[in-house]
Structure 1
Amino acid sequence: MEMRSFFGFDTQLNYLFSNIDIDPSRSPFIREQIEVLYEGDSIVDIKNLVKEMKISVETYKVVCLNNIDFGETKKIPHPERRTIEREIGISIDGEPDLNNPEAVFGLIQIDERWYFGKYTISESIWRKHIHKPNSYSTALNTRVARAVVNIAIPQPVNIKAIDPCCGIGTILVEALSMGIDIVGRDINPLVCVGSRENIAYFGLVGMVTKGPISEVTEHYDVAIIDLPYNLATHISPEEQFDIIKHARRIANKVVFVTIETIDEMIVDAGFVIKDRCIARKHLFERQILLCE
């Protein structure tokens, strides 16, 4: 579902081609990226092309990514990958540095065609947010929270977002760490304090206010709502529907996270469910609904 939100399609393959540039560190599921500069039918083609490449750094490194199978393209053995890296590396005008290069270039073979370009490896930023001062056992885990933010806000430029039932701020931390303009709100004053502490713990800056969603007067491009549930929160169907109705009022697009089927409420509030998936943790399931 995150893939569909980012790129407009999904695939069962372990790679994809797209003209849409997404920082791989945004996603907990993207491992690496090549910004393709050259492509050709052979290593010789790539060598000839990179000879003409002008780079603005003094040191570089070339990495061949075929250390696993990519679709029908089989893994290239380690010694052969190292040979390919050296062949391409000596064709680049600069100083190779395997330990601390200023630039890293990636090379990959897919379906008998070679691709070369700027290489970026994903940093698992969400893992750094697992341990925080305040947490609830029923809160979203940071990996799912980060994916939910990406589903809701694939392109953050000029987007204003709100999490009006923010709890201890798991969604807020992930969104703020990606530079997204988001505010939080919760009806529980102690939870608001915990959310602010979590945000500050990671050196982030974000606003969390106290109050119900019914008191929100500003309009937002996107809302993310993990519907309240736990042993201390006995929310009735009427209260759920009230949250959903106010979400329709304050936002153009909403991603709901729910442990119950709420399709009828969603439709009755005037939403259309555009996409959906289920996030599972052992026997516990959450439905993630993208609604407009």
Structure 2
Amino acid sequence: MTYVAVEASEFIYTYAYPEEEESLCRLEARCLFGSEPHPYLLKSSVGLDPSRSPFIRERIDIMYEGDTLEDIYRQVEAINMGEETFKVLFVKINDLTDTNKIEYDERRAIEREMGLHIEGEADVNRPDHWFGLIALGGKWYFGPYQRNKSLWLLHMKKPRSYSIALSTRVARAAANIAVPEINGKHAIDPCCGIGTVLVEALSMGISITGRDINPHIAQGARDNIVHFGYEAEVTLGDIAEITDHYDAAIVDMPYNHFSRTTPEAQFSILEHAARIADRVVVISVDSPDEMLTRAGLSVIDRGKVRKAGFSRQVIVCASNRVD
């Protein structure tokens, strides 16, 4: 006999984020789930691979719920693991109050007790299946457990680097914000630099094309993509030359802070982004709202991330262009 998990209709996600990225985390959650974690927990009917987000730590597929631990103990007796092994994890991130807080030794004891109510063999080292137990909103929840694989950490070591490139965490969040629903969508990074956003998007299965006006930088993006085993087209040229249309565009504009690019050139990039994509995510060290409006973009939502004495805004826009 082989254990078969029951398909869940609700999920609980746990979150972790540095203070300087909290606003970006909440923007990403609004785009992916339509709601935010409060402050580190999110219950949703949206089933998402936890490894997509740089802020999600874990996911529990709700299999059972109860008012007490005893309620859960009784329900898990219906689980038969057959010949496969399992492990129960008491999830450390929860909303238990200080008066109800459960310390380490008691958490381990609850895990053991829960395991005794499940038909099968427990394996604390290399189990075939993980189960999570979590407290939220005065109830207990139990079900299959997944941990984030933190793929973006592997992408930090690129063969080609660029000092002002986005961090892999910000790039991954930007890709999620631009393309919350992957299926059937195609995106573009028309000023892709060395491909930080491209690598993160590709690792999540997002269909995306890159482009850059600098031949050396564009080749760097190609090298980085190949290094991590992904495939994507990276073309050479100005955004004004793009004739294809995309569901989303991600435009990182560090230009006004780090280079001599003129406001006219910045406006041209935004104007063409509005022309080639329905949804545009703009990353800027300034507040370009007036320029966005003139370019034919309406602001839907926004967040920010602070780093090294300055802030980057991440602005979600819809194109008003009907070209």
Shorter-chain TM band:
over 0.9
Say if 2:62 is the partner of 1:70: no
Deviation at 1:234, TM superposition (A): 2.3
Distance apart, 1:224 and its partner CA: 0.4
1:98-148 CA-to-partner distances (Å, cap 9, x unmatched) read 100010000012243110001011111111111111111111011111111
CA separation in 1, counterparts of 2:246 and 2:86?
44
- TM-score, length basis structure 2: 0.86
Q: Give SS of 1:223's match.
A: strand
- Does residue 1:130 correspond to 2:156, yes or no? yes
The equivalent residue for 2:147 is 121
After TM superposition, the score normalised by the length of structure 1 is 0.95
User: Do the aligned partners of residues 69 and 188 (structure 1) sit closer, same or farther apart at CA in structure 2, a change above 3 Å counting?
Assistant: same
Aligned ranges for residues 265-284 of structure 1 at < 5 Å? 265-284=291-310
Q: Is contact 2:88-2:131 (8 Å) kept?
A: yes
Q: Which residue of 1 aligns with 2:46?
A: 20
Aligned alpha-carbon RMSD (Å): 1.7
The residue type equivalent to 1:7 in the other structure is F
The residue aligned with 2:223 is 197
**Which of 182, 195, 201 is the matching residue for 1:169?**
195
What letter is aligned with 1:222? A
Alignment of 1:1-292 (within 5 A): 1-55=27-81, 58-65=84-91, 67-68=92-93, 70=95, 72=97, 74-227=100-253, 229=255, 233-292=259-318
Q: CA deviation at 1:260?
A: 2.1
Distance 1:71 1:237, change over 3 A: farther
Query: In the comparison of the two structures, how many residue pairs are matched?
Result: 291
Contact kept? 1:222, 1:253, Cα under 8 Å = yes
Judging changes above 3 Å, is the alpha-carbon distance between structure 1 residues 261 and 104 closer, same or farther for their aligned structure 2 residues?
same
Call closer, same or farther: CA 1:137–1:114 in 2, change over 3 Å. same
* Counterpart Cα distance in 1 of 2:193 and 2:63: 44
Secondary structure of 2:280's counterpart equals strand
What code does the residue aligned with 1:72 have? Answer: T
**Cα distance, 1:11 vs. partner?**
3.9
Give the SS at the match of 2:279. strand
Counterpart amino acid of 2:239?
I
**After the TM superposition, which of the residue ranges 212-221 and 73-82 deviates more from structure 2?**
73-82
SS of the aligned residue for 1:9 comes to coil
Q: Percent identity?
A: 50
Could you tell me how far apart the structure 2 residues matched to 1:226 and 1:160 are? 18
Say whether the 8 Å CA contact 1:57–1:103 is kept in structure 2. Answer: no
SS at match of 1:109: strand
Contact 1:228–1:235, Cα closer than 8 Å, also in 2: no
Check 1:241–1:68 CA distance in 2 against 1; reply closer, same or farther (3 A cut): closer
Q: Which amino acid aligns with 1:90?
A: L
Letter in 2 for 1:223: A
Alpha-carbon distance in structure 2 between the residues aligned to 1:113 and 1:241 = 52
CA distance in 1, matches of 2:175, 2:44: 21
Following superposition, the deviation at residue 57 of structure 1 comes to 6.1
Determine helix, strand or coil for the equivalent of 1:13: coil
CA contact (8 A) 1:13 1:71 kept: no
Alignment gaps of 5+ in structure 1? none
Range with greater deviation from structure 2 (268-277 or 56-65):
56-65
